[in-house]
Structures are given as C-alpha cells and as structure tokens.
Amino acid sequence: MNQWTKTSAVLLALGLVTTSVPHDALAGSEAAQQPMTQQNTEKDAAAQLAAQNMMSVAWYQNSAEAKALYAQGYNSAKEALDAQIQKHKGGKKLAIALDIDETVLDNSPYQAYSTLNGTSFPEGWHEWVATAQAKPVYGAKDFLKYADAHDVEIFYVSDRSHEQDLNATIKNLKKEGLPQADKKHVLLKKEGEHGKSERRDQIKTNYRLVQLFGDNLLDFDEPKAATAEGRDTFVKQHEDDFGSKYIIFPNPMYGSWEATLYNNDYSISPEQKSQLRQSSVTYFDPATKQLKQQEVQ
C-alpha cells in the first residue's frame, strides 16, 4: 500500500472524506428498498391489528364468566328441549342443529396463534383443524349426550370446508366422545354454497328441527340486511326465541358482526380496518364531558 492509499484509508476511517456512489446506483438501491419497506409496513399493520384481539382471547380462555355463559345456554337448552320432548306425539323425529366452532368445540388456541403471530384467517386454520385437538366448550358434551339419550337427532352444521375439513372434524368430535359424529350428521360447507339455509332445509325434510345453536346470528337465519341495523332488527324480531329455540353463545374473538364494521369488505387494508374499529365505538371525553366517536381519516 503506497503513502497516498494509507492516507486515504485513515481519512476515510475518521470520516473526513466520503466515497462517491454513482447516482443511478443509489437510485436503483432506493427503488429496490421501497417494495420491501412497503411490505414491512403492511406486515406491521397486520400484526398490530391481530394484536388487538389478545384481550378477547384471554377472556375467552381464562374467564369463569365465559364458562358460566355456556352453562347458562346449555341449561336453558335442556329445559326447552325437555318441553319439546314431552309434547312430541309422533310424526317426524325431533332434531337439533349446532354450529361447531365456539359452540361445540373450542378453537381459541388457533385464535391465540393468530394474535401472537400477527396473522389472520385462514393462515394456519386447516392445519389446526387437521390436528383434531379442539376440546368441547363448557357444558356441550353433557347436553349432547342427554339429547342423544332421549332419541333426538343431532346435526353439526358448520361453515368449515367440506372438501378440506370433514374427516378431521369427525375425528375430533369422536375423539371427544360427542354423539352422532358421522358423515350423515356432520354437515360442512361445500364449495360454492352460501350460508347454512340449504343445510337446515335439508334437515327439515325428514325431521322436526326444534333448536338451533351458535355464536353467530347466521347460525339461526340470515338477517334481511347484512348491516349492524339489520342485525339489531333480527334480534328484536326473534327476542322471544333466544333461550329456547335459539341458543346463542359468547364469542368476542371473531364473527360476522365484525364484517359490518368494514361494510362487509374484508379486502380493505389493516390500517383501514383499525380505523373503522376505532370509529365504531363511542367514548367519553373527560375534557368536554361529552360522548364522542372518532372520525375515519
């Protein structure tokens, strides 16, 4: 190394001179980084959105109140079913139809995975179903065994994929000792099918369907309008059915109620979803002593 080279190296190390980078090369490097930066930003936003669900998952898994609500629902169902059995004088056999997820089986470990890893459905969902590890929700097994012992037909009507999830779902139900878990009674959503109405009508052809169970209004019927107002109207119209014909269970983790916040458009960005979630709630402002809502930016 000659004297000039040595001097340049020292000055460069001290920061007293800089190297020269061609403008085109620098621009190309910045352009290459932009898509990666955008991807990282979108990933961070998705992770932040998923993290918002942690309190819901923690409540669902750990609160005694969640168990109490399931006990309340299945106790009410048993009382109402007894009344149907007592007045049944022949004709079509009695039947009940239950959603599976968060109605019969607890999938909160999958929801926990999503919120901890910043992912969203369906990432990891079919892998979870395939393991057949979901446990029965509180009170479900005792109620279903009671219904089975009283000669009531039990149908599991779920929007799990018929093509991908049927065998694993039956395996899971059987593994947990839940009755009538076979291909006749486990009715999953087939490709191209919309909602559960067709499957419920299929049951009604041969049975008297006396009870429906679920964590979502769509487990009972479809509101005329898929809006928050339409869903509220449905509840008011059927308020006498809840607790007897309709048995509904708690699920703060997900559901079709969330779609109404996004105008039924899940394709919007995580940032937009977060803004719409925040703008949907009414909050108290101590400074003005008024109730307010955030505006969507």
CATH number for 216:
3.40.50.1000
pLDDT in tens, 18-63: 334 344 444 455 554 556 566 678 889 999 999 999 999 999 999 9
Q: Residues 12, 15, 20, 23: what is their CA dihedral angle, to the nearest 10 degrees?
A: 150
10 part of a folded domain: no
Question: How many other CB atoms sit within 10 Å of the CB of residue 194?
Answer: 8
Domain assignment of residue 149, given as a range? 44-263
| 160, containing H or E segment | strand 153-161
Q: Quick one: tokens of 144?
A: 């279903």
Average pLDDT estimate for 100-127: 98
Q: Backbone dihedral region of 91: left (phi > 0), alpha (psi from -120 to 50 degrees) or beta?
A: left
CA angle at 277 for the pair 157 and 138, rounded to the nearest 5°: 35
Confidence of residue 254 (pLDDT cuts 50, 70, 90): very high
Q: Quick one: tokens of 146?
A: 């009671």
Check residue 133 and report its DSSP letter: -
Least trusted range by pLDDT, from 68-72, 95-99, 224-228, 287-291: 224-228
Question: How many other CB atoms sit within 10 Å of the CB of residue 297?
Answer: 7
122 part of a folded domain: yes
20 part of a folded domain: no
Question: How many other CB atoms sit within 10 Å of the CB of residue 143?
Answer: 24
Strands 186-189 vs 153-161: parallel, antiparallel or unpaired: parallel
Check residue 182 and report its DSSP letter: S
180 part of a folded domain: yes
Least trusted range by pLDDT, from 14-18, 68-72, 209-213: 14-18
Q: Would you state the pLDDT for residue 37?
A: 67
14 part of a folded domain: no
Compute the distance between CA of residue 237 and CA of residue 169 in angstroms, rounded to an integer.
34
Q: Quick one: tokens of 42?
A: 């979108």
Residues of the chain with pLDDT > 70: what percent? 87
In whole angstroms, how far apart are CA 71 and each of 76, 112, 142, 195, 293?
A: 8, 23, 10, 27, 35
Helices (H), the chain: 3-14, 23-51, 54-62, 64-87, 108-117, 125-131, 140-149, 162-175, 197-206, 228-237, 256-261, 270-279
Q: Would you state the pLDDT for residue 5?
A: 42
281 part of a folded domain: no
For the chain, what is the domain count? 1
Q: What is the CA radius of gyration of the chain?
A: 27
pLDDT in tens, 141-155: 999 999 999 999 999
Phi, psi of 57 (to 5 degrees): -65, -40
207 part of a folded domain: yes
Which of 249, 101, 271 has the alpha carbon at shortest distance from 188?
101
289 part of a folded domain: no
pTM of the predicted structure, to 2 decimals:
0.86
Average pLDDT estimate for 276-281: 97
